[in-house]
Structure formats: C-alpha cells, structure tokens
Amino acid sequence: MILGIVFSLLSSACFNINNLMEKRAVDMMSEITVRRPGHMVRSLLTSRLWLAGFSIGIVAIGLLVISYSLAPTVIVQSIFGAGVILLVLASRRYLGEHLTRREHQGLFVIVLALICVSSTIGAASPRSNAGSPAAVLIVSAVALGAAGLMFKTLRSALKDPSVTFGITSGLLYGVATLQTKAASVLIERHGDSGAIPVILSSPYPYVFIIASTLGLITFQTGLKRCRIAVVGPVTNIVASIYVVAAGMAIFGEGLPRSPILTFFRILGFALVLLGSWILAVGPAGTNAVTSGP
C-alpha cells in the first residue's frame, strides 16, 4: 500500500511537469486544431520541448500502472488528482495565468471533492480482481461516445472553451487510464513477465492507443487555446472520477462499509459535478480563447 502511494505521488508529479512543458511548447507553435490532426502531429513531433514533456508523461503512465497494481483505484486517483493544486500554482508562477473569482470557487469545490473521496481511503470493501474485457470495452465505448457528444454540445453552449476541452479530454484520458488499470489486474494475476503476452492479446493496449491519441489531440488543442490552470485540472479530475467510478463497477472495488464514509464518497462525486458546473457557467477568463476548434 505504501509503495502504491509513493508511485502515485511520483506519477502525479510527472504528469504535472508534462502538462507545463507541453503548454509552454504549444504556446510557441502556430495555430493547431482538432480539424487538422496531421498538422498538429507534425508540429508536436518537431518540438524538442514538447517531446521532452511527452517523454515525462510516458514515465508517468508507467508509474501509474505500477501504483494500480499496489493500491486500490480510489487511493491512486485521489492522490493523483490532488496534483491539480500544484498545477494551478505553477501556472500562476511560470505561465502568468490568472483565474477569475468564480473559477477559484469552482476549483475549490473540486479540491473539496478530492478531500471527500480521499477521506474514504482504506475503508472500501475487500478488493476483487473481477472485470472481464467485455465489461471494460462496454464502459469504454460509452465514455468515448459521451466524449464526442459532450464536445459537440458544450462547444457552443459554454462561455469558456477550457471546460469543453477539459471535460472531453478528461473522458478520453479516463478511458485510456481504465485500460492501464485493467492491464494492472492482469499483472497481478500472471506476474510481471507472464502478463505481457496476455496483455498484448487483450483489447486493452489497442483501446489505450485509440483513446489516448484522441485525448492527446483534444488536450493539446485545449492547451493552445485555453489556460492550463483550468483545462488541466478539469481534465485530471474528470479522468480521475471516471476511473474511480468505473473501477468500482468493473473491478469490484465497492463502496465503504461505513454509511458515513459512503456518503463522503458519493458527496465527492457530486461536488466534482458541481465544481465543473461553476466553471462552466462562469465568465471566460482573460486568457481564454473563444474561437471554434
């Protein structure tokens, strides 16, 4: 359990460094858009700074897989999600981004949600390695469809595109992260070396590639057009809550036995929705760009 927490902290740190480096890199690029994925990929792959940040992100994914095999999903994602606080502070210090009062309120509610979920650490029902590939695929397909629908709906409905890009890329990255969780279950069952052929014969690595590629395109466009102080936290929290909820349903990581702690777990999920709504209906910040993708 302790090692799982350590690897979660390291993964969160690497992801935040990755986000800051990628934001700095895309700010120096010409316009990139989801409508021109080829141009985006060429721009990203020719930037040394972006490639360095991307490499750190790959390390973060590896650390996340290890942490999943050592600790329950809710613990890993609660620690991982707490990194949004450092991301917001770093964006102010190194990128000069500023948030409106309402945006501060929305992020505060989201952080409060993380505290509620974190308060239930260690109180879950016994872990189970249940979870068939079919169940993972169904839940993933629903989330991918929801991501596309939300992007189309929210793009014209919200004042600040940061929330649109954050929610959409969060769902896409959440699907990718769910595949790493599923792969970690196979590692627990078959051991480090024995799990490799089993993982490669499963749908997990291929769904991971599809979801992470779509998430990458959406997130990089969001980084270019929006403030990382908003799009980054929303992406991380939506992905974290999705993985926790899906993990509870698929892998048998149930609600706490205590009714009080169960209340805090559910309250945490509700507060994430509330915080996202506060961000969504608030005025666009000074660095937000309102042009279409």
Model pLDDT for residues 69-97, shown as the tens digit of each residue: 777 666 676 676 667 677 777 777 777 77
pLDDT band at 126 (very low <50, low <70, confident <90, very high): very low
Tell me which residue of 251, 278, 260 sits closest to 133, measured CA to CA: 251
Q: Is residue 292 part of a domain?
A: no
Asked if residue 129 has pLDDT above 70, the reply is: no
SS (H, E, C) 28-51: CCCCCCCCCHHHHHHHHHCCHHHH
Average pLDDT over residues 83-112: 75
Question: How far is it, in rounded angstroms, from Cα 177 to Cα 136?
Answer: 11
Mark residue 285 as left, alpha or beta (left: phi above 0; alpha: psi -120 to 50; beta: remaining).
Answer: beta
Q: Is residue 61 part of a domain?
A: yes
Q: Is residue 286 part of a domain?
A: no
Ranking 141-150, 214-223, 244-253 by mean pLDDT, the lowest is 244-253
| Residue 207, token pair as written in the block | 């769904």
Sign, Cα dihedral of 208, 210, 214, 220: positive
220 residue type, one letter: Q
Instruction: Dump pLDDT digits (tens) for 256-282.
Output: 777 888 888 788 778 877 876 776 665
The reported pLDDT for the residue numbered 240 is 78
Q: Identify the residue with better confidence: 109 or 141.
A: 141
Among residues of the chain, what percentage have pLDDT more than 70?
81
Ranking 3-12, 204-213, 244-253 by mean pLDDT, the lowest is 244-253
Domain that holds residue 152: 2-281
Q: Is residue 149 part of a domain?
A: yes
The reported pLDDT for the residue numbered 282 is 57
Q: Is residue 293 part of a domain?
A: no
Question: How far is it, in rounded angstroms, from Cα 99 to Cα 28?
Answer: 22
Q: Identify the residue with better confidence: 291 or 2.
A: 2
Q: Is residue 156 part of a domain?
A: yes
For the chain, what is the domain count? 1
